[in-house]
Amino acid sequence: MADNKKAVNAITNMDEDFAQWYTDIVKKAELIEYTSVKGCMAIRPYGYAIWENIQRILDGMFKETGHENVCMPMFIPESLLEKEKDHVEGFAPECAWVTLGGSEKLEEKLCVRPTSETLFCEHYNHIVHSYRDLPKLYNQWVNVVRWEKTTRPFLRSREFLWQEGHTIHATAEEAIEETERMLNVYATFCEESLAIPVIKGRKTDSDKFAGAVATYAIEALMHDGKALQAGTSHYFGDGFAKAFDIQYANKDNQLTYPHQTSWGVTTRLIGAIIMTHGDDSGLALPPAVAPIQAVIIPVAQHKEGVLEKAGELLDRLKKAGLRAKLDDSENSPGWKFAEYEMKGVPLRIEIGPKDIENGQCVMVTRHNGEKSFVKLEDLETAAAEKLKAVHDGLYQKALENRERRTYSCTTLDEITKALAENGDGFVKAMWCGEEACEDEVKEKTGVGSRCIPFEQEHISDVCVCCGKPAKHLVYWGKAY
């Protein structure tokens, strides 16, 4: 079996070279393939199936909270993009432009959508006139383009898939409530569907979204101790409304500016799954988004009755609502074991002549390799219980990694020492609120601010940098 595993799963040891391990995973698990367009990836069927499951679950959550799907154009006229000064300045370095239509030079160049705030604002200007028109709770599933200098599959690419929610409200209170509500939706999704524990908080002003009054984020810690921003939710106030002259008549028939939000997650979540749960055998997928939740491997399948019994188990699992597969190929069982370990399938079910004789099957959970014998009449119940155990086990392992790699520090020297002795991770430290101190922490220790967590703790009375009275506890870290 070792040789079979080596042949299928030649993956770099993650503790030796995490970056190469990641590249090996996305290639060997057939999630992506590189393309001739630099910085852009072809998402292969297995990788796209993970995204489809993410999309399916999140889309249901959005609709439960009253949101409707729409679709805006891919192109943004330069004049439209420039209406909100802070916004355009924030995105200018990453914009890709279209200057020709066919062989004709365009009268006005068009930006290839990096995000869609300006398009939604133009739309709101056309359709919002009265308080009766509010709120508008919209979402779209699209691709966007940002001309990144350094790229890595899923984590940072020049074209990527995402959803972007855009809402407009009568009051600031309603918009802020929406901003926080959607951040909580993301946190729930990450923890309950992806088995990724997250920290919820507000970004510092220097790190907020271009044009936003406030940006909220969920931060996750990867296996190597680096942070990953897993989702963001932005409160815009009425700044975009004023820039785009969006006004509505309130109940007193007075013209008033509405307040807006936007929020989004991307295919970066697939990278988060890989780096949170993967190991030296490959992927370890949370059951909720795994394209195959259970794979059935017939043992000695050439013997009478084995394939027929395996087919029966497949039918039963599918009827129970599981995404199940039977691998009846001519590859050896050892090869198949390694293949589906690499692909991160949460549950493996083995069935052979002796199992049939004993009225049982063997179940193996991917995250810990635990093997158990299950009576065939208990198949559906046991499979459901095992899949829950996989989710819970993945979550607990990720949580333990985060707790082990979270350091409380009161000075810059303590930060440097903690990182040097224990490796990268989250640093909890107090901050005075001054951007100069935020910059100095990063310059001297290498960790930047990740978020001001909603759940505040009191580590000390003074800023970790300048010693002045502290205003906030901040999570700091190196980030993808």
Q: pLDDT tens digits, residue range 391-448?
A: 999 999 999 999 999 999 999 999 999 999 999 999 999 999 999 999 999 999 999 9
Q: pLDDT tens digits, residue range 433-442?
A: 999 999 999 9
β pairing state of 406-408 and 426-431 = parallel
Contact predicate 348/313, CB 8 Å = no
pLDDT score of 9 more than 70: no
pLDDT score of 7 more than 70: no
Q: Give the model's pLDDT for residue 90.
A: 81
Count CB neighbours of 253 within 10 A: 8
Contact predicate 42/35, CB 8 Å = yes
Question: Distance (Å, rounded) from C-alpha 44 to C-alpha 31?
Answer: 5
Paired tokens of 197: 């524990």
Q: pLDDT tens digits, residue range 61-88?
A: 999 999 999 999 999 999 999 888 788 7
Q: Give the model's pLDDT for residue 10.
A: 79
CATH superfamily of 294-389: Anticodon-binding domain (3.40.50.800)
Beta-bridged to residue 156, according to DSSP, are 152
Q: How far, in Å, are 67, 185, 416 from residue 413 at the CA level?
A: 48, 37, 5
Q: Give the model's pLDDT for residue 1.
A: 41
Q: pLDDT tens digits, residue range 192-223?
A: 999 999 999 999 999 999 999 999 999 999 99
Residue range 17-277 forms a domain whose CATH class is: alpha beta
Q: Say if pTM beats, i.e. exceeds, 0.85.
A: yes
Q: pLDDT tens digits, residue range 286-321?
A: 999 999 999 999 999 999 999 999 999 999 999 999
Question: Distance (Å, rounded) from C-alpha 394 to C-alpha 392?
Answer: 6
β pairing state of 104-112 and 75-77 = antiparallel
Paired tokens of 53: 């499951």
Paired tokens of 127: 């359709």
Contact predicate 202/213, CB 8 Å = no
Instruction: Quote the mean pLDDT of the chain.
Output: 96
- The pair phi, psi for residue 464, each rounded to 5°, is -65, -20
Q: Give the model's pLDDT for residue 334.
A: 95
Burial group, residue 223, by CB count within 10 angstroms (0-12, 13-18, 19+): buried
Under the banding of pLDDT at 50, 70 and 90, the label for residue 95 is very high
Which residue shows structure tokens 């609502």? 321
What sign for the dihedral angle of Cα 204, 208, 213, 219?
A: negative
Where exactly are the structural domains of the chain?
17-277, 294-389, 406-477
Question: Distance (Å, rounded) from C-alpha 270 to C-alpha 291?
Answer: 13
Question: Distance (Å, rounded) from C-alpha 41 to C-alpha 282?
Answer: 20
Question: Distance (Å, rounded) from C-alpha 366 to C-alpha 408?
Answer: 34
Question: Distance (Å, rounded) from C-alpha 277 to C-alpha 423?
Answer: 18
Beta carbons within 8 Å of 391's beta carbon, 6+ residues apart: 195, 286, 287, 288
> How confident is the model over 47-52, as a mean pLDDT?
98
Q: pLDDT tens digits, residue range 313-343?
A: 999 999 999 999 999 999 999 999 999 999 9
Burial group, residue 462, by CB count within 10 angstroms (0-12, 13-18, 19+): middle
Contact predicate 367/393, CB 8 Å = yes
Under the banding of pLDDT at 50, 70 and 90, the label for residue 3 is very low
Beta-bridged to residue 37, according to DSSP, are none
Report which residue type is found at 155: L
Nearest CA to 156 among 290, 21, 26, 276?
26
Beta carbons within 8 Å of 12's beta carbon, 6+ residues apart: 20, 21, 24
Q: pLDDT tens digits, residue range 235-256?
A: 999 999 999 999 999 999 999 9
CATH superfamily of 406-477: C-terminal domain of ProRS (3.30.110.30)
pLDDT score of 365 more than 80: yes
What sign for the dihedral angle of Cα 195, 196, 198, 204?
A: negative
Question: Distance (Å, rounded) from C-alpha 144 to C-alpha 74?
Answer: 8
Which residue shows structure tokens 């008033």? 256
Question: Distance (Å, rounded) from C-alpha 442 to C-alpha 438?
Answer: 7
